[in-house]
Amino acid sequence: MKFIYIIYFLSIIQLFSQNIEKRNGEYKIDISTYRFSESEKKIKIGKSEFYFDKSGKIFEKISYGRHHYNKLDVIGNIEQFEYQNDILKLSRKYTSWCKTCEFDETDTKYNYNNKNELINEIILNVENDSIIMSINYLKEGNSLEIHSGESTYIQKIYDDNLKLIELNQIYENSKKIRWQYLFSYGNNWKRSNFQTYYGDGKENSKTEVEYYDKTNRIITKEILSNFNTKIVYIYSEKGLLKEIKEYESYNDDFKLKYVKHYKFKGKVRKLNNETIKKINDELIGK
């Protein structure tokens, strides 16, 4: 245990030696991820911390473990967010790839039109001040295209109620669809059907169904393909996400494979429904 504390202390020293300012938010959520082996042994595979401001906007994310050093006793990634008039303007990410590596820094700048609609992201390598990628958002009617200079782009199509009904990956040159999600909705569910169009004889498809409670919180998600996955979302009495359990089945027998625990730190009585929804959406990844 003493050895783990020494490694953690050295990783903190490394942060300060690179002038990485560690922030504190109004609310903190500790996240622990576990995997269950075939013998049902519980193994910790993930550790992270999320910090939020008092209105529920994400302020900082810290994750442990690195690509070439997967033990959870060192910080691997830090992502910090800056806002102007409640609009995200900058995210700064520090990443270290090995046990003794320094942190690489990348900045993402967000640009908006006069309607506060996102039109461009610029990702920069801070060390040499070079552009890594520029992402452009092109909106026309009920369609939104996301271009990043790659061979494909993303197209989102919405209905008149602004519900997403199509999500496509399309080749830039031929304009042919590479893969596609089609969405449909009911009173308490959302269904998405996924299909690839690779043309290599290795097509695949799956169906995803999300179910919601009376307050429109997701409570279960089912993924149906060559094997089936069921994800269960559990909330605290206050309404904050408390646990996610993921089950897998290759027949009719579902087995618990992963579980995430969320531990909230802060004054719960200060939270209103809007703030709780923002926090939950960020934790779920909406």
Q: What is the mean pLDDT of the chain?
A: 92
Characterize 183-201 residue by residue with b for buried, 16 or more Cβ atoms within 10 angstroms of its Cβ, and e for exposed.
beeeeeebebebebeeeee
Q: Residue 181 domain-assigned?
A: no
Range of the domain at 83: 2-140+213-284
Q: What was the pLDDT predicted at 62?
A: 96
- Look up the pTM and report it: 0.90
Tokens read off for 154? 């993303």
Q: Residue 229 domain-assigned?
A: yes
Question: How big is the chain by its Cα radius of gyration, in Å?
Answer: 21
Is a pLDDT exceeding 50 seen at residue 16? no
E strands, 37-125, in order: 42-52, 58-64, 75-84, 87-95, 104-112, 118-125
Question: pLDDT tens for residues 43-92?
Answer: 999 999 999 999 999 999 999 999 888 899 999 999 999 999 999 999 99
Report percent pLDDT > 70 for the chain. 93
Q: What was the pLDDT predicted at 148?
A: 97
E strands, the chain, in order: 27-36, 42-52, 58-64, 75-84, 87-95, 104-112, 118-125, 130-140, 143-147, 152-158, 164-171, 177-185, 189-196, 205-212, 218-224, 228-235, 241-249, 255-265
Taking residue 221's Cβ as centre, other Cβ atoms within 10 Å add up to 18
Per the model's pLDDT, the better-predicted residue between 213 and 25 turns out to be: 213
CA 131 to CA 157: how far, in whole Å?
29
Section 113-130 average pLDDT: 96
Is a pLDDT exceeding 70 seen at residue 15? no
Is a pLDDT exceeding 50 seen at residue 17? no
Cα–Cα distances (Å) from 169 to 135, 154, 155, in that order, read: 15, 5, 6
Bridge partner list, 182: 166, 193
Q: Residue 176 domain-assigned?
A: no
Number of folded domains that form the chain = 1
Tokens read off for 217? 């919180």
Query: Which residue intervals of 51-161 are DSSP H helices?
Result: none
**Averaging pLDDT over each range in 11-20, 240-249, 261-270, which range is the top one?**
240-249
Section 1-27 average pLDDT: 58
Q: Hey, what amino acid is at 81?
A: F
Q: Residue 177 domain-assigned?
A: no
Positive/negative CA dihedral, 163, 166, 167, 171: negative
Under 8 Å between Cβ of 155 and 139 = no
Q: Residue 178 domain-assigned?
A: no
Q: Residue 18's pLDDT band (boundaries 50, 70, 90)?
A: low
CA 130 to CA 74: how far, in whole Å?
28
